[in-house]
């Protein structure tokens, strides 16, 4: 995504990332190769590798980045006839969120506990 070599920064490999990735220190020769990711997106989730080359060897480390996404507005509705003896479907959905969402239904009025 971004590379520093021979006194030059190369950061134009992926058009979608142009302007969103930069070295924290504008001069990586200082020994600080930290990376800033601007305008973080859920698609940025993944494994990132930092590779440092200096004669006579190479060192590398991998870091797992998980971008958390708050749940989108929950939409709830009732499908079916709300009459005794009929079936209904209570719907509840959120289009996005991470980690994976979980749902818990409880009856909050009345005296009888229901699963």
Is the same domain home to 36 and 57? yes
pLDDT in tens, 37-74: 999 988 899 999 999 888 788 999 999 999 998 888 88
Is the same domain home to 51 and 84? no
Is the same domain home to 20 and 51? yes
Is the same domain home to 38 and 89? no
Is the same domain home to 101 and 60? no
State which residues form the domain around 19: 3-65
Is the same domain home to 7 and 50? yes
What total of structural domains would you count in the chain? Answer: 2
The domain that holds 29 is classified in CATH as: 2.60.40.10
3-state secondary structure the chain: CCEEECCEEECCCCHHHCCCEEECCCCHHHCCCCEEECCCCHHHCEEEEEEEEECCEEEEEEEEECCCECCCCCEEEEECCCCCCCCCEEEEECCCCECCCCCCCCCCCCCCCCC
- Domain end: 33, 50, 65, which one? 65
pLDDT in tens, 69-105: 888 888 999 999 999 999 999 999 888 888 778 888 8
Task: Using the Cα atoms of residue 65, residue 37, residue 74 and residue 106 in order, give the sign of their dihedral.
Answer: positive
């Amino acid at each position: 995504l971004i590379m520093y070599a021979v006194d030059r920064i190369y950061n134009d490999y992926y058009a979608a990332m142009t302007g969103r990735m930069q070295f924290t220190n504008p001069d990586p020769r200082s020994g600080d190769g930290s990376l800033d990711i601007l305008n973080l997106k859920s698609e940025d989730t993944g494994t990132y590798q930092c590779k440092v080359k200096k004669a006579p060897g190479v060192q590398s480390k991998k870091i797992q980045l998980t971008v958390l996404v708050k749940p989108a507005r929950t939409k709830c509705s009732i499908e079916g006839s709300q009459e005794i003896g009929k079936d209904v479907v209570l719907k509840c959905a959120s289009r996005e969120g991470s980690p994976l969402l979980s749902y818990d239904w409880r009856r909050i009025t009345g005296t009888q506990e229901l699963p």
